[in-house]
Structure 1
């Protein structure tokens, strides 16, 4: 083969190699749920839902499913996570240290588990200050994945009730448990894990594996849920009875 032909073949091979690298990079980016190109980044923030429209939960004597607003200003419903495994936590954006460390720990979980289908939600316990716009800016410190990791806000009292009713955690203004709660595909809270505790985090990772593999709601979990539903029904009935028997102020 003469020199011009050799040079031509070499150039073509080089071009083919660059093309392959470009394609592989494109495939990796497309498969990575955390990847977001610059052209897809949120530049302007226009919230869809205003504080006046926040869910108050006044008609719900006990909160099992809830509705909040995410960092994009869109409506979030926990019912949408049915058939999904998810991890929930409470925080507030102005917390200078602990909440940052907590969300860095959540970030580590997200990097491993989001691509396996696990969803993440971080609920603000300083909802009066943590507007969707504030959370939009705050979330960017940890992720560009607005689909799989939601930073949520809403009515403060409603969020306090979400903590106590749904997750059995104490939540108040800028006050929250330092726990990650694992929720199964049927909406059952299956465990709360202190993110400071290395062994607890190992247990959380093991539980996430088990929850992803579950195809049916475990019998013991069904029994626990039915027992809780019965207790809630009795609680609601008692509340209704107390309301009926309560004397009016005019008497």
Structure 2
């Protein structure tokens, strides 16, 4: 009898392990929708502090590494990750761009996922400079736009649209922002997460959240 109980016990443990550790049991809950009232008030413009629902990222007009004008229309219906960087940055930006390149590689077959990087020093980061930077990180322009544009417009996007940086400064000549944050935006232009783009565990969390949103979006499309 004892000889029979042992293999039965092993079989039960095996079944339990499959149940709890199978892919279907991995946490697939989608990330929450973030509105200004949900975030650190220091990241949010005072005029937006009380907005608890309905926030959508602003429309934008930027110039990418190929000299093409990039607008919100190029991201309509897409899930995307945004960051703010500058090519002369010797500290966090190279790691951020490396991690963006890793995300591009992970989701290279997923047309629904795009990336958007905005230079915070557009006076230095010309199209030619961005082109060289994009080649360094193998940025595919159909997937990852590395952009420049009007400084005030970019800083307004950072502070009042994506909430990527502390709400200080006016976008003028002396204004400067520096943030490691990656912002995840869904296909409805809603913020779904803010992550430290320099930390491996945060990138893993971001990848999980992207997969969750992609799964939901595909499910919705297939149901139509």
The alpha carbon displacement at 1:197 in A equals 2.8
The alpha carbon displacement at 1:63 in A equals 6.7
Matches of residues 30-179 of structure 1 in structure 2 within 5 Å? Answer: 64-117=58-111, 118-170=113-165, 173-179=175-181
Distance 2:149 2:211 in 1: 31
Distance 1:152 1:143 in 2: 15
Q: Given that residues 57 and 189 in structure 2 are in contact (C-alpha distance below 8 angstroms), is that contact kept between their aligned partners in structure 1?
A: no
The alpha carbon displacement at 1:82 in A equals 1.4
RMSD of the alignment, in Å?
A: 2.3
Write the deviation string for residues 2-36 of structure 1: whole angstroms up to 9, x where unpaired. xxxxxxxxxxxxxxxxxxxxxxxxxxxxxxxxxxx
Q: Given that residues 160 and 170 in structure 1 are in contact (C-alpha distance below 8 angstroms), is that contact kept between their aligned partners in structure 2?
A: no
The alpha carbon displacement at 1:92 in A equals 0.2
Q: Secondary structure of the residue that 1:161 maps to in structure 2?
A: helix
Q: Secondary structure of the residue that 2:156 maps to in structure 1?
A: helix
Write the deviation string for residues 197-236 of structure 1: whole angstroms up to 9, x where unpaired. 33322221111011112239x9xxxxxxxxxxxxxxxxxx
Runs (4+) off by over 6 Å: none
Distance 2:127 2:80 in 1: 21
Match of 1:232 in 2: none
Q: Secondary structure of the residue that 2:142 maps to in structure 1?
A: coil
Q: Which of 198, 201, 206 is the equivalent residue of 2:200?
A: 198
Q: Given that residues 63 and 161 in structure 1 are in contact (C-alpha distance below 8 angstroms), is that contact kept between their aligned partners in structure 2?
A: no
Q: Given that residues 92 and 174 in structure 1 are in contact (C-alpha distance below 8 angstroms), is that contact kept between their aligned partners in structure 2?
A: no
Distance 1:116 1:205 in 2: 13
Which one is further off, 197-206 or 169-178?
169-178
Q: Given that residues 90 and 123 in structure 1 are in contact (C-alpha distance below 8 angstroms), is that contact kept between their aligned partners in structure 2?
A: yes
Distance 2:57 2:204 in 1: 29
Distance 2:180 2:143 in 1: 21
Instruction: Using structure 2 for the length normalisation, give the TM-score.
Output: 0.65
Q: Name stretches of at least 5 consecutive residues in structure 1 with no aligned partner.
A: 1-61, 219-251
Write the deviation string for residues 159-210 of structure 1: whole angstroms up to 9, x where unpaired. 0001011101227655222011111111111111002333322221111011
Q: Secondary structure of the residue that 2:183 maps to in structure 1?
A: strand
Which structure's residues are more often helix, by fraction? 1
The alpha carbon displacement at 1:77 in A equals 0.4
Give the paired residue count. 157
Q: Secondary structure of the residue that 2:184 maps to in structure 1?
A: strand
Write the deviation string for residues 83-110 of structure 1: whole angstroms up to 9, x where unpaired. 1111110100111232111101111111
Distance 1:63 1:112 in 2: 25
Q: Secondary structure of the residue that 1:103 maps to in structure 2?
A: helix
